[in-house]
Amino acid sequence: MKINFDFKTTNIEMTEAIREYLYKRLEKLEKFTGDDAGSYGQVEIGTTTSGQHSGEIFRAEINLTVDGQNFRTESKKKDLYSAIDEAQDEMIRALKSYRGKRRTLFRKGGYQIKKLLKFRGKKL
């Protein structure tokens, strides 16, 4: 399953090296999205311009929609690549948590159905 991503830059230029790095990092998210055809994402990278005294601070934000659920992560670092890495790691944690919760609910539902079928098979 391929996720469609839209890229946006703020106060920096999107170079081919940055684009390749983003694709490399974001393809790791695809194994956590399942087979949902409606998965899409938005990525914004840039520099912050206010409230800083120690040079440029880079920002990476990832918004992802999977199964109708919205996930958002944001990271601010002094290096653009480390900001992208941290945002990607946070998104993986959020997707793993969601997948675990979804699986648990599915198993609870299956247990309830099994319990209902066992009860119907007993003689009174």
Q: What superfamily would CATH give domain 4-94?
A: Ribosome hibernation promotion factor-like (3.30.160.100)
**Could you report the per-residue pLDDT of 58-106, keeping only the tens digit for each?**
999 999 988 788 999 999 999 999 999 999 999 999 988 888 777 776 7
pLDDT at 121: 60
Helix (H, G, I), strand (E, B) or coil at 36: coil
Q: Cα separations (Å) of 78 from 7, 45, 58, 91, 101?
A: 20, 13, 6, 20, 34
Query: From CA 2, how far away is CA 36, in angstroms rounded?
Result: 10
Q: How far apart are CA 61 and CA 44, in angstroms?
A: 5
pLDDT for 117 = 78
Separation of alpha carbons 68 and 102, rounded Å: 13
The Cα–Cα gap between 3 and 40 comes to: 5
pLDDT of residue 1: 44
Stated length of the chain: 124
Phi, psi of 78 (to 5 degrees): -80, -15
Compute the distance between CA of residue 55 and CA of residue 53 in angstroms, rounded to an integer: 6
Q: How far apart are CA 77 and CA 47, in angstroms?
A: 10
- The pTM (predicted TM-score) of the whole model is 0.76
pLDDT: which is higher, 69 or 121: 69
